[in-house]
Amino acid sequence: MSALTLLNEEEQAFREMIADFAKNEIEPIRMSMDESQQMPDELVQKCFELDIMGVEIPEAYGGIGSTFFNALLVIEELSKVDPSVGVLVDVHNTLVNNCLLRWGSEAQKAKYLPRLAKNKVGAYALSESGSGSDAFALKCKATPTDDGYVLNGAKLWITNAQQAGIFIIFATVNPDAGYKGITAFIVERDTPGFTVGKKENKLGIRASSTCELVFEEVRVGKDQVLGEVGKGYKVAIETLNEGRIGIAAQMLGLAEGAHAHALAYTHERKQFGHPLFSFQAVQMKLAEMATRIEAARLLTYNAARLRESGHPYVKEAAMAKYYASDMAEWVASQSLELLGGYGFTKDYPMEKLFRDSKVGRIYEGTSFMQLQTIAKLL
């Protein structure tokens, strides 16, 4: 029994709606987005209009009040066609929205969630040039003032930065306190002194913006502290634990898309007078891909169901992220090879999916860090 058969009717209908959107609105422009390294504002607006930017946001705040699991279905389906769009929606939902839903005050929820549901993209800014896997070695500083804080420093590799209007920023109010000085802040794009800097020229997910953020005497009020002062490390860790399931869903979708292209091609392409699929070696390779994809789906869905039901899920989230990203890179590579010379060209989307797959083992916790998390929880 496939994990797909475990979806209820509402979830299946939701999946089909997103699949139609991806095919009709994203597929025709995915290669032009990749080549231009830009995602059209019109496409981002369509994501808002489809209500997939506020999946878990309650209806009272303008969202659709759906589930974390449905948010993952959105990410998976979008990523089958273009993982760049998948990660835009992923970071917005699983990191930014979830962060505010869990840690935001009532006033903060009322102020920011309606905009995140309807017209403002969110970004999550933790990484710096010197703090990657060592996430809490950050140098961005928040100096207390009478009425709030002044932010100085920079962030690097921030997904969605080019489109975002609302940012969750992590800075330290006391460098001597180590991770206990880290605090989360909500910062709006038009705040004086805040600049979205260089956009990175990346190997893959090129339509997804990844930029530097610069803070020069950026003043924020006390009401812009998200959670408690000095508890930003807890906000970051617990949010990323959820976000990693989102990356697993992105990589799952990518692999499904690659496998579908390879399967279709091997039925159409003939060599020695027979379709490629008629050769046993090709059948075995496609069968192995399908098996690994199904294993990743089960890990990802299981982690999501555990999270929704309130059970411990950190180990399972790390397993899903680790395995799905490893699997996606392998499936994309094998699929490209099955297309032969065509797979190496831009006439087919395989070379793009192959490039896109590499980042899964890097962002939101490298594969090494996922294995370390799993080992700690054995």
- Catalytic annotation, residues: 364
Mode of pairing for the β-strands spanning 164-172 and 182-188: antiparallel
**DSSP-based helix, strand, coil % in the chain, nearest 5:** 60, 15, 25
Question: Nearest 5°: phi and psi at 376?
Answer: -65, -25
Q: What is the CA radius of gyration of the chain?
A: 21
**In angstroms, rounded to a whole number, what is the distance separating the alpha carbons of residues 375 and 23?**
40
Q: 274 pairs with which residues across the strands?
A: 271
d(CA 52, CA 89): 7
Q: What are the tokens at 255?
A: 């692999």
Strands 164-172 and 148-159: what pairing? unpaired
Give the H/E segment covering residue 42. Answer: helix 41-49
Distance between CA 111 and CA 224 in Å, rounded? 11
CA distances from 325 to 11, 148, 210, 330 (A): 24, 41, 19, 9
